[in-house]
Every structure is written in structure tokens, then in C-alpha cells.
Amino acid sequence: DFDVAYFHSYAHVGIHEEMIKDRARTETYREAIMQHQSLIQGKVVVDVGCGTGILSIFCAQAGAKRVYAVDASDIAVQAKEVVKANGLSDKVIVLHGRVEDVEIDEEVDVIISEWMGYMLLYESMLGSVITARDRWLKPGGLILPSHATLYMAPISHPDRYSHSIDFWRNVYGIDMSAMMQLAKQCAFEEPSVESISGENVLTWPEVVKHIDCQTIKIQELDSVTARYKFKSMMRAPMHGFAFWFDVEFSGPSIGNQKKRTNPSDALVLSTSPEAPPTHWQQAIVYFYDPIDVEQDQLIEGSVTLSQSKENRRFMNIHLEYSSAGRSFVK
């Protein structure tokens, strides 16, 4: 039932318009396909969660022999029409159903998918990519993107706090500060998806989870825990933690050797505050009350991201943090 609601949400054209208009996202995927054209040309591809079919069409344009475009949402009906309108019905086969349920009667050479959710793992679509890999991908086959990394860092964001909370101190000359506690709960109870800049970030980021799409197992997604220790680069009020991710598009391994000699040569799509903006923005877990930190002050603790037992598309976040002898849990 939860999946029905989830896939139904992707039948709405607005969500696809937002993703396609995200130039950083769409153009990086197209560039990745063209960069790996030698591994796609004449080969069989699966596009997991194809949406409107744009990535499947890019693969067909790159010379793929056959592309299975799989989507459980009703948008698959439109995808089929888009494929037809572009004269690619002989190459791109749209399968309307879940990756776990549809049948493909051959091994595939390439899996492509735009599976990343907010904070990387929200919506849990990576599980479908892993399922497709284990069902159909030939040994040594190509997965795009090949790697993903989730980062976190403490932030200072006085403007956001002022806009949502301090506003109530004086409303048209009336003291409405009695609203502030409720305002904090409503504004900061759940993670907020918004854009910040590098200037908001107090420290270098730390890695929460690194994912190799060739080897990760579904069970690893049930719960992810990371310990962290940050050192503030400035004196500022700390308002919470920001999370963002990168995905990398690199070729398959040969033994333990990557095909590329230098990891920095790989094509990367980043949702960092320093990178061009994307529709993912950053995910921010705000504190109800800011903590004043001094330069070089340590901020340490742990974060656990776990799939909700009630609905695996949702994610629970458990954050422990301490600084200057005070400890907190959110």
C-alpha cells in the first residue's frame, strides 16, 4: 500500500518537470552516458525508475542495442508515447511495473538509474537498483552512477532562525513571543530541504556513508551509523547539521584496478553547498535552540539513519551531539 502511494506520486508531471529542468542533474547524466559510450554501444541497458524515459533515450542515442525502461508509476504510459514519438520503439522497451516484479529474459550489460533521494537515502530507491543488479547485470557490468557518498557538517544559519522564530518577538508591534516554542517545533521538528551556501558551513564535512553500487547489499540500507568529530573553524551560533551527497560515474573495476588512473578524473554530480544548485538542495536538521561555539571548539557525536519500520520509503534520523561538556539528542 505504501508503494502504491509512492509510485502514484511519480505519476504527476510536476515532479518530472522539476527533475528534468535540473540542468546539473540531467546534463551530468547525459555526459556520463556519452563518456561511457564505448561500454553502452551495441549493449543491453536497464533504466531503473525511468520516469519520462529521458535517460533511456540518451542511452539509445549513444548506440545501445536495447534499453529496458522500467517504472512502476503510471508515468510509464507517457514514457512509451515519448519513446514512440522519437522513433525509438524498436530499441527502448518500456516495462510498467516494479523492478522486483517485471521480467527481462536476458542478462544486461549496463544499469542506469537516477535513484537518489533527499539526503541520498530518503525514498530507498537504491534497493531497486541493487535488485536489478542481482537479477540481471552481467559480471563486470557497468552501473551509472557507480558510487555515492553522503556527507554532513555543522552549520550556522541565523537568517533562517530569525525568519522562522525571532519574527514572533514583534508582530506589527505586538509581542507574540508566546508563539516561539510552537514555531520552533513546527519549523525544526523534521529535516528541512533548502539551499545554503558554503558560508553557512562551520567545518570541513565528514563522510556518513560511502556506497559502491557494485557491491552494496540491501541489508546495509536498513540502518547506517556514523561517528563524527568536527572542529569549528569560527566563532558562531551553531544551528544544526547539513547533509548533502555526491555521486560518481566511473567505469567497472578490472580486478582491483579502476579503469581510470586517477579518481579525480571521474565525472561527479554534487549537491554540496559549494556546487551549482540542484533540486535536491541540502537536507538540514535544525536544533530547537542554537549552540554558541568558539573557534576550534570540538563538536562530536553520532548519527543513525534507519528505514522506517512502518514505511520503508521513509527514514528515521537519530542524532547525538555534544560540545563544551553539554550533550543533546535529536
Residue 191 DSSP one-character state: -
Region for 50 from its dihedrals, namely left if φ exceeds 0, alpha if ψ lies in -120 to 50, beta otherwise: alpha
* 15, 44 contact by CB (below 8 A): no
Question: In angstroms, what CA-CA distances link 278 with 196, 210, 246?
Answer: 12, 20, 11
* 295, 233 contact by CB (below 8 A): yes
Q: How far is the C-alpha of 101 from the C-alpha of 7, rounded, in Å?
A: 14
Clarify whether 100 is annotated catalytic.
no
* 151, 244 contact by CB (below 8 A): yes
Q: How far is the C-alpha of 50 from the C-alpha of 113, rounded, in Å?
A: 7
CB under 8 Å to 263, separation ≥6 — which residues?
Answer: 248, 250
Q: Starting from the edge strand earliest in sequence, which strands make up the sheet with 92-96, in order? A: 92-96, 66-71, 44-48, 108-113, 137-144
> Which residue in 100, 106, 107, 114 is the catalytic one?
114
- The CA dihedral of 306, 310, 312, 318, to the nearest 10 degrees, is -20
What are the backbone angles phi and psi of residue 13, rounded to the nearest 5°? -65, -30
> Which residue in 123, 294, 310, 320 is the catalytic one?
123
Clarify whether 123 is annotated catalytic.
yes
The residues annotated with a catalytic role in the active site are 114, 123
